Amino acid sequence: MSKGWRWAVLLLPFLAFVLLVVFLLRGLFSDPTELSSALVGKPVPQFTVPDLYQPERTYTHDILKGQPLLLNVWATWCPTCRAEHEYLNKLAAEGVAIIGLNYKDDSRDKAVAWLNTLGDPYQVNLFDADGSVALEFGVYGAPETFLIDASGTVRYRHVGDVNERVWQGELGQRYRALLDGATQETNK
Amino acid sequence: MIHALSRCLALASMLFLISFAVTVPSAGAQSLQEYEFDEPAQEALFHDLIDELRCPKCQNQSIADSNAELAKDLRDRTYVMVKQGASKQEVIDYMVARYGDFVHYQPPMTFVTSILWWGPLTVLAVGALVILYRVRRQKVEEIELDAGEQARLEELRREGEKEQNR
């Protein structure tokens, strides 16, 4: 066996080991509960859903078109939604368009009371009592936040609470990029 | 010695059986009484589907097995679709369009998932090649003795025989 071959044979297990370590390390720091949305890059699904405050008033999927916005899925039974609520109030005050989708809440009154006490960061409040709209969006828990562009295409989904770190991260960066794109369009 | 060995074997086979008992999912853990069908074919399809669809909320349970709220919603939707005469593929496509490939226990064959098929085969093939290579090398080496070594071998053999006959 030539010298070069011998080195190759000796290094091969080592390289395999390094590959395995990289693979396992990635596994260690990845969150298996975080699934990428199947809707990314697709237009928002069609739906008709009542308003949270006024049961007789209904909205369709068209409400999600016209500007880059966040669709926030929340419920009063969801502790993490409570945790992110302050931050959503802050974002709304900064002018971020957020639409709320109340997901299978215990009751309409409870949801309204929550918004009355904690503040209402949502431009529009959708009330999805049986979770059928959320099912169209592939929602598997709350809170989830979808980033939707002006044409009504889903661009990104964030699972878990929205906070400063998330807003500085991918969700916020993508939102700001969309906003820049939208203002450039109107200035043309 | 033999006792210890048989005991070991018994223990091993017991552990083997227990491991099966643990890994077999408790199928039908959820009450499915509420789903009533007029046609047995639709009922069979429904049960096939809820065993094959994976609950997105709970990592490793089928929607038949999980008691998560979401699993119930997906069971209900599957029931409605099957009742309306949807085919198996239609229901699966509907779920995958919303929840991604994660929701189906049979991953589609794509470039990334193809490693699941050829990965183990490659490992087997590499192992077989290594064994083949080594076995061939062993055969080649035949030792030849010169006259002196041959004489020493004879001498050792004779001594060995003497030892045995003693």
Q: What is the pLDDT of residue B109?
A: 82
For residues A76-103, average pLDDT: 95
A38–B77 C-beta distance less than 8 A: no
Does residue A177 register a pLDDT over 90?
Answer: yes
Residue B156, pLDDT > 70, answer: yes
Query: Has residue A1 got a pLDDT over 60?
Result: no
pLDDT, one tens digit per residue, over B28-60 is 456 777 888 988 999 999 999 999 999 998 878
Closest CA of chain A from B126, distance in Å: 13
The predicted complex's ipTM stands at: 0.80
B141 pLDDT band (50/70/90 cuts)?
low
Q: Do A135 and B97 touch (CB under 8 A)?
A: no
CATH ID of B29-103, from 1.10.3720.10, 1.10.1040.10, 1.10.8.640, 1.20.810.10: 1.10.8.640
Query: Is B25 a residue whose pLDDT tops 50?
Result: no
In this structure, what token pair is assigned to residue B110? 């794509």
pLDDT digits (tens, 9 = 90+) for B101-134: 889 998 888 888 888 889 999 999 999 999 999 8
In this prediction, residue B10 carries a pLDDT of: 60
Would you state the pLDDT for residue B27? 46
% of chain A beyond a pLDDT of 70: 95
pLDDT over threshold 70, residue A51:
yes
How far separated are the first and last CA of chain A, in Å rounded?
Answer: 70
Cα A63 to Cα A52: distance, rounded to the nearest angstrom = 14
CB atoms A141 and B57 under 8 Å: yes
Give the model's pLDDT for residue B45. Answer: 95
The pLDDT assigned to A54 comes to 94
pLDDT digits (tens, 9 = 90+) for A107-131: 999 999 999 999 999 999 999 999 9
Q: What does the pLDDT look like over B83-96, one tens digit per residue?
A: 999 999 999 999 99
Say if residue A171's pLDDT is above 90. yes
pLDDT, position B57: 87
Residues A57/A51, Cβ–Cβ less than 8 Å: yes
Mutate to test the interface with B, among A12, A137, A140, A159 (most CBs of B within 10 A): A140
- In chain A, the residue whose alpha carbon lies closest to the alpha carbon of B99 is A138
For residues A153-173, one letter each, b for 16 or more C-beta atoms within 10 angstroms of the residue's C-beta and e for the rest, the string is bbbbbbbbbbeeebbeeebbe
Domain spans of chain B, in order of start: 29-103, 115-165
| pLDDT at position A105 | 94
Average of per-residue pLDDT values in chain A:
91
Residue numbers in A near B59 (CB within 8 A): 32-33
With a CB cutoff of 8 Å and minimum separation 6, the contacts of B36 are none
Question: Using beta carbons and an 8 Å cutoff, which residues of B are at the interface with A?
Answer: 56-57, 59, 69-70, 73-74, 77, 96-102
Q: In chain A, what residues touch B96 (CB-CB under 8 Å)?
A: 38
